[in-house]
Amino acid sequence: MAKAGETAIHDHAEGGNLATLARMANQIGDFFKAYPEHEAIAGIANHINRYWTGRMREEFRRGFENDSSILSPLVRQALARIRPAPGG
């Protein structure tokens, strides 16, 4: 059964991959939710910037620039801090 917001993601050509990226990002967000908000947001962005490939970051940024409702509130706030892929 799809969660709220997943239907919209599957309308994208790479919807399966976006759903996976959203799930991964939300898991990172779950880890950091015990931290103070500003530290959590920075921690989420830092983790994604450090460990995700440029292609993953770029797909994540572009895939959720218009509708990030499937992302947790902390991940939505961290989204602006995700670095673009080199040359992206």
**The two three-digit tokens of residue 77, written as one number:** 């706030």
The residue among 35, 12, 10, 20 whose CA lies nearest residue 71 is: 20
**The two three-digit tokens of residue 41, written as one number:** 């947001």
Distance CA 16, CA 38 (A): 30
**The two three-digit tokens of residue 33, written as one number:** 């939710």
Is 54 within a domain? yes
Per-residue model confidence as pLDDT tens digits over 44-84: 999 999 999 999 999 999 999 999 999 999 999 999 999 99
Is 18 within a domain? yes
Provide the domain limits for residue 19.
6-81
Is 50 within a domain? yes
How many folded domains does the chain comprise? 1
* Average pLDDT score over residue span 4-28: 72
Can you spell out the DSSP letters for 28-57? HHHHHTTS-HHHHHHHHHHHHHHHS-HHHH
Query: Which pLDDT value is given to residue 88?
Result: 60
Is 37 within a domain? yes
- pLDDT higher for 72 or 1? 72
Is 33 within a domain? yes
- pTM for the model stands at 0.81
